[in-house]
Structure 1
Amino acid sequence: MIATILLSIGIVFLAELGDKSQLMALTFALRYRWWVVLGGIATATAAVHILSVGVGHFLGAALPTRAISLVAALTFLAVGLWTLREHLGSTDPEDEPQPPRSSRAPYFVVLSAFLLAELGDRTMFATAALATDNSWFGVWLGSTIGMVAADALAIGAGILVGKHLPEHVIGISSGLLFLYFGAATLIAATFPTLGVLAGAGLAAAIPALAGAGLLVRRRTRAQTAFEDAGIVTAPTEVRP
């Protein structure tokens, strides 16, 4: 049992280094309290991995990963667009949204996002494969610890980065990252034979275009507001 737990920790920890789960954890840590993010990740990981070891140990069957990936992609895209709209939609810095004070809503946001992201991910297949020849409980416990440990590193990085960036920049960066996650997931599910570099390039184009469009819109609104204010407040010229 101990050997199975250690093996699962090592495999999952190494598999998660540089994975999208770490980037998601860093993104959430920029916006929410670290213990809320870590709690949501731990709950989602435990739920997904108990499902994966059950599939591998008892059923030996796969889930409809493509449909799950499409739902996850649409969810990430919607979250990204909404976040950018919040932070680029206002022309007054004082109107920028503040981070939520309640921990309940962020917890469920993190939980649902990681549930969708991890269903059908390579980590799920790895735990299912390990559970076919090892103790399912040991694989579940070890894989959960390994993934939470890897994502905790990303949360720590997010905390350090967040201390040196203004909230407005953090919000925009979060929105762009979620757009990238959604685009990358959508491309991988729709075009599974596409190369990694090509898929990454196409996915990066989506947040770039969306961010540029919203930025142009914000500047246009700011310019219009400035001109209207100038017309109203401009002093009347007095000729001698």
Structure 2
Amino acid sequence: MISEILSSLIFIFLAEMGDKTQLLALAFATKYKLSAVLTGVFLGSLLNHSLAVIIGLYLSSFIPLNIINIATSFAFIIFGLWTLKIDEGEEECLEEGKCPPKFHPILIVASAFFLGEIGDKTQLTVITLSTSARYPLGVLLGTVTGMVITSSIGVFIGNKLGKKIPENIIKLISGLIFILFGLINLYEFLPSKYLTLPNILFSLSIIILIIYPSIKRIFPFQKQKH
């Protein structure tokens, strides 16, 4: 069992270095406490990898992962748009740099990591390891530990950056990261017949039209007085 824990940990550590989930951890660490981010990473990864182990053991021939990937991509775009959304009165707290989170940080991070890993190469790795594992629990322990270790690196960097970057910049970067990951995943998993140039340009135009008012409120354009 120890060997399966270690091999799974190494697989995930190498797979996640520089991956989107490490960048997500970095982005979250600029906004939330280290303990909240790491707890969210642990819970989200635990739920996601537990699902992967179950799929690897029992359901690998029944779950259409491509459909799940597409749904998750849309969820990421929606999450990014929600991050950029400015409620009434939020402009003032953004200027002061003291905006409270809309939901508990642990819930936000855990949800993002659970969704972010669905259909990802990390989850597919967990599924593959589970199909031939003597101790599936060892695979689960190793992969979750690997996720926490790689995310800790991103969290450490993000925490240092968060102390130097204004909150409105952090809000913008975080939202755009989610939208970017969602669009990349859609490009990867959508059938090619939908990836025509008119469809791509139309979709990007809609997203820009949606996020422009939020960006304008995050960075208010003030006319100079003459």
Please report the TM-score for the alignment, with normalisation by the length of structure 1. Answer: 0.75
The equivalent of 1:182 in structure 2 is 182
Distance 1:171 1:219 in 2: 8
User: Where does 1:83-98 land on structure 2 (aligned, <5 Å)?
Assistant: 83-86=83-86, 94-96=92-94, 98=98
Distance 1:20 1:210 in 2: 25
Note the C-alpha offset of 1:123.
1.0
Query: How many residue pairs get matched?
Result: 216
**What are the Cα deviations for residues 73-116 of structure 1, in whole angstroms up to 9, with x where unaligned?**
222222222333329x98x96352733268x6222121222111
Task: Note if contact 2:85-2:214 (Cα within 8 Å) is conserved in structure 1.
Answer: no
Residue 106, structure 1, aligned to residue 140, structure 2: no
Say if 1:216 and 1:160 are closer, same or farther in 2 by CA, change over 3 A. Answer: closer
Distance 1:27 1:39 in 2: 15
Structure 1 residue identity aligned to 2:37: V
Distance 1:181 1:38 in 2: 21
Task: Note if contact 2:31-2:170 (Cα within 8 Å) is conserved in structure 1.
Answer: yes
Runs of at least 5 residues in structure 2 that lack an aligned partner in the other structure: 194-200
Deviates more, 1:160-169 or 1:61-70: 61-70
Higher relative contact order (CA 8 A, sep 6+): 2
Note the C-alpha offset of 1:57.
2.7
Please report the TM-score for the alignment, with normalisation by the length of structure 2. Answer: 0.80
Distance 2:129 2:192 in 1: 24
Task: Note if contact 1:69-1:116 (Cα within 8 Å) is conserved in structure 2.
Answer: no
Identity fraction in percent: 34
User: Where does 1:128-207 land on structure 2 (aligned, <5 Å)?
Assistant: 128-134=127-133, 135-191=135-191
Q: Which has the larger radius of gyration?
A: 1
Residue 78, structure 1, aligned to residue 73, structure 2: no
Task: Note if contact 2:80-2:175 (Cα within 8 Å) is conserved in structure 1.
Answer: yes
Task: Note if contact 1:48-1:115 (Cα within 8 Å) is conserved in structure 2.
Answer: yes
Say if 1:117 and 1:157 are closer, same or farther in 2 by CA, change over 3 A. Answer: same
Note the C-alpha offset of 1:18.
1.2
Structure 1 residue identity aligned to 2:52: S
